[in-house]
Chain A
Amino acid sequence: MTDSTKSERHPADAEPGAAAAPSGPQDPKTPAEPRSDSKVVRIGDRVFHSVATGSGVFVIALIAAIGLFLLIRAIPSLQANEVSFLFSREWQAGDPDNLRFGIIDLAWITVASSLVALVLAMPTAFGISLFLTQYAPRSLARPFAYVVDLLAAVPSVIYGLWGFLVLTPVISPVAVWLNTNLGWIPLFADGNIPVGTGSNVFVAGIVLAVMILPIITGVTREVFERTPTVQIEGALALGATKWEVVRTTVWPFGRNGFIGGSMLGLGRALGETVALTVILSATQEAPSYSIFDAGATFASKIALGSAEFNNNMTVGAYISAGLVLFVTTFAVNALARWIEGRSGKGKE
């Protein structure tokens, strides 16, 4: 409808107090307009609706822009790359005229440290979530959960310092023991730095585990809490022990939530930067397949490389690595949300 009819139709907005006037807000009814399928929408509503919708579109565009800008900046460097981006073990990005960079070693260290973290954090988070939702006294469950959440409030740079300067000396004997006794397994073999120094994937994984613990716990706890009371009481009424209740009701109900939460934790671990920059020592020698290797993850490589961000080609090499990290975390997070969304809808 036209603006003129609009102002005519809304005396209440145009003139405050009109609504209270004894005549009421009814204006003389104009004959119905012929364009009868157009609905009346107020200007305020239209503006508000557009702004809100626009912001929704903006968020979507933002993610697209991130992917796009990284891609645009990465392409020239990828084209100038003298070695295979995916499979080379070299990383010489400082000279724009002779770019030699590949990500295979970055990928290995990234995946290895994240997996160590998951192996440690998943069972712990599972136990914590059960403890908080099913075992802890009702009155203490909240403060206890808050304590676990506090773990997430500590900045990663501080975890890095703690891991490097405080945890390493304490945990090294464990690493040495694993290496001497289980060294025949490639995973625990000698790495490219002495096992005792601790700037390796093993320590990095432990610190990452602490960092992702609150993430996994947060999601899992919430799903476990939603287990229908009727199911729990049903199991209890059959004479099930607490553990049997957990196994037959809470776990089937919350399994997807736990897995989804772990994937979210994985996403966080893959992208964690500063803690690993501090802990992992940069080595000349390429890593093998031991958790006692040192090296760099995608993220820590980029952070360390920031010193040589002085021409677009060099930056482009690091941005290429960043793009891979972005795509990976995108996929992991998407998968996590998808699995999490299915929680409680399992067959059992």
Chain B
Amino acid sequence: MRTDTADVERPATAPTFQHIGIGRRLKNHTATGLFTVSFLVAVVPLLWVLYTLLSRGLVPMLSADWWSHSFYGLLPNDFGGGIYHALVGTIEQSFVAAVISVPLGVTVGVFLIEYGKDSRLASTATFMVDILSGLPSIVAGLFVYALWITTFGFPKSGFAVALSLVLLMLPLVVRTTETMLRIVPDDLREASYALGVPKWKTILKVVLPTSLSGILTGVMLGLARIMGETAPLLILVGYARSINFNLFSGPMASLPLTIYTERKTPTEAGDARMWGAALTLVLVIMLINLLATLISRLFAVKTK
């Protein structure tokens, strides 16, 4: 921005385009370089983690028993076994969490966009949803422990885990619902009102169907996110190496808990189990992400 050259040094005939000072150019190039590098810096750990998972977790996963057996009865040095018990736990726990948090979260989203608008209550609720989305998962676990186990006297169980996952998934569902409802044009609501359709039916039959695809996608992404949660599991349920379908009693495995627990088996077989479970978890998460993309295509509002 500053002109370095004094008037006398200017060539007699000015160049067609004004010159850019070397200092400015250098700064510009340095900035460009630094910003590009910082992006690469972010890519490195991602690829590194993925490479680690593949190189260490793929072999155990390739065994035939992996998807159909548990780790039941394996000694520390025994290779083999499978992840079925943990898959069951992960799927059951996150499914129940979704079943509770989706209707609740969508309703909160509807309240914030369709009813609350700029009311005091709505802005307080929005703030609380923000706080909830920053809630450390261990605190969610402690709260469920304090409420469900200490106060109500229920035993540790997969269901207690599901309850803590509800706390973590709820803000995600609310946020997606809010975003998706916000982009539904008011035109559609007005068209519906003008037909003499009451507000609640307008929301249920016109507004929500229009944003269905987006909400479903967000729900799937939320599901993927809670499946990897480990902290609440450590305090809310015991680990079982056998298959337990019962959410309400007994220890129950899940993928993150399996990884965490098998870490403590200081043998090669234990390592294989741990990395196998880790790769499985990431694959499940990726699968669900993929499903989310698919759903957003499948349920998208059709124009043809």
Closest CB in chain B relative to A315 CB, distance in Å: 7
Of A63, A124, A132, A158, which contacts B53 at CB under 8 A?
Answer: A158
By the criterion CB–CB under 8 Å, are B196 and A19 in contact?
Answer: yes
Q: Bound state CA distance, A336 and B133, in angstroms?
A: 12
Residues of B contacting A246 with CB < 8 Å? 31
Q: Which of A60, A147, A162, A273 contacts B52 (CB under 8 A)? A: A162
Q: Are A241 and B145 in contact (CB under 8 A)?
A: no
Contact residues, B97-150 vs A (CB, 8 A): 104, 107-108, 110-112, 114-116, 121-122, 124-125, 127-132, 134-139, 142-143, 145-147, 150
Q: Is the CB of B52 within 8 A of A166?
A: yes
> With A44-B201, A69-B151, A318-B142 given, is the CB distance from A131 to B134 under 8 Å?
no
- Asked if A303 and B231 make an inter-chain contact with CB atoms under 8 angstroms apart, the answer reads yes
Convert B32-73 into 0s and 1s, putting 1 for each residue whose CB lies closer than 8 angstroms to a CB of A. Answer: 101111110111011011001100000000000000000000
**With A48-B199, A53-B115, A59-B128 given, is the CB distance from A162 to B49 under 8 Å?**
yes
Interface check A283, CB cutoff 8 A: no
Which residues on A sit within 8 Å (CB–CB) of B111? 52-53, 55-56
Across the interface, do A273 and B260 meet the contact criterion of CB distance under 8 Å? no
| Also in contact, A131 and B48, with CB within 8 A (given A157-B230, A268-B134) | no
Q: For this complex, into which size category does the number of interface residues on chain A fall? A: 35 or more
Contacts of A147 in B (CB 8 A): 42-43, 46
Q: Is A91 an interface residue (CB 8 A)?
A: no
A123 touches B38 (CB 8 A): yes
Judge if B304 is at the interface, Cβ distance under 8 Å.
no
Q: Which of B1, B116, B136 has the most CB of A within 10 A?
A: B136
User: A55-B104, A241-B24, A273-B230 in contact; A158/B35 too (CB < 8 A)?
Assistant: no
Instruction: Indicate whether A47 sits within 8 Å of B136 (C-beta atoms), given known contacts A56-B108, A303-B235.
Output: no
Q: How far is the CA of A242 from the CA of B135 in the complex (A)?
A: 39
Residues of A within 8 A of B131 (CB): 63, 330, 333-334
Partner of A156, one of B132, B196, B230: B230
Q: A128-B39, A154-B49, A325-B136 are in contact. Are A56 and B121 (CB under 8 A)?
A: yes
A162 to B104, CA, bound (A): 36
Stretch at the interface among B80-88, B182-190, B243-251, B278-286: B278-286
B1 x A271 contact (CB < 8 A): no
The answer, yes or no, to whether A344 is at the interface (CB within 8 Å) is no
Q: Are A274 and B260 in contact (CB under 8 A)?
A: yes
CB-nearest residue of chain B relative to A302?
Answer: B138
CB distance from A140 to the nearest CB of B (A): 10
> Are B138 and A299 in contact, with the CB atoms below 8 A?
yes
CA distance A155 to B282 in the complex (A): 8
Q: Nearest A residue to B256 by beta-carbon distance?
A: A157
Closest CB-CB distance, B242 to chain A, in whole Å? 21
> CA A158 – CA B20 in complex, angstroms?
49
Bound complex: CA A303 to CA B199 (Å): 47
**What's the tally of chain B residues with a CB closer than 8 Å to chain A?**
88
Answer whether A151 and B42 are a contact pair too, CB < 8 Å, given A241-B25, A329-B134. Answer: yes
Q: Which residue of the partner chain A has the closest CB to B106?
A: A55
Contact present for A69 and B235 (CB under 8 Å): no
User: Inside 8 A of A142's CB, which chain B residues have their CB?
Assistant: none
CB distance from B224 to the nearest CB of A (A): 7
Q: Is the CB of B37 within 8 A of A127?
A: yes
Q: Measured between C-beta atoms, what is the minimum distance from B237 to chain A in Å?
A: 10
**Which one of B27, B46, B227, B281 lies within 8 Å of A150 (CB-CB)?**
B46
Instruction: Tell me the complex Cα distance, A128–B41, Å.
Output: 9
Q: Is B234 an interface residue (CB 8 A)?
A: yes
> In the complex, what residue of chain B is closest to A305 when comparing beta carbons?
B235
User: Which of chain B's residues have a CB closer than 8 A to the CB of A123?
Assistant: 38
Total number of residue pairs linking A and B with CB closer than 8 Å: 257
Query: Closest CB of chain B to A235's CB: distance in Å?
Result: 10
A236, chain B: closest CB distance, angstroms: 13
Is B107 a contact of A319 with CB atoms below 8 Å?
no
In the bound complex, residues from chain B placing their C-beta under 8 Å from that of A277 are 234
What distance in Å separates the Cβ of A274 from its nearest Cβ neighbour in chain B?
4
CB-based contact A56/B112 at 8 Å: yes
Q: Mark A278-313, 1 if CB is under 8 A from B, else 0.
A: 100000000000000000000100110010010010
Chain A nearest Cβ from B25, distance in angstroms? 7
Contact of A326 with B139 in the complex, beta carbons under 8 Å? yes
Q: Closest approach, in angstroms, between the C-beta of B226 and any C-beta of chain A?
A: 10
Within 8 A of B (CB), among A102-136: 123-128, 130-132, 134-136
Q: Does A12 contact B (CB under 8 A)?
A: yes
Q: Is the CB of A60 within 8 A of B124?
A: yes
A155 to B227, CA, bound (A): 8
List 17 additional contacts besides A66-B143, A242-B31, A302-B138; criterion CB under 8 Å: A12-B196, A44-B201, A53-B115, A58-B104, A65-B147, A70-B139, A124-B42, A131-B36, A134-B35, A147-B43, A156-B231, A161-B278, A162-B52, A274-B234, A306-B235, A319-B145, A322-B142
Q: Which positions in B face A, CB cutoff 8 Å?
A: 1, 18, 20, 24-25, 27-28, 30-32, 34-39, 41-43, 45-46, 48-49, 52-53, 104, 107-108, 110-112, 114-116, 121-122, 124-125, 127-132, 134-139, 142-143, 145-147, 150-151, 167, 170, 174, 196, 198-201, 203-204, 224-225, 227-231, 234-235, 256, 259-260, 263, 274-275, 278, 281-282, 285-286, 289
Sample 19 A-B pairs with CB under 8 A, ordered by A number.
A48-B204, A53-B111, A56-B108, A56-B112, A60-B124, A63-B131, A65-B143, A69-B151, A70-B146, A127-B38, A131-B35, A148-B42, A157-B228, A158-B49, A159-B49, A240-B1, A243-B30, A246-B31, A274-B230
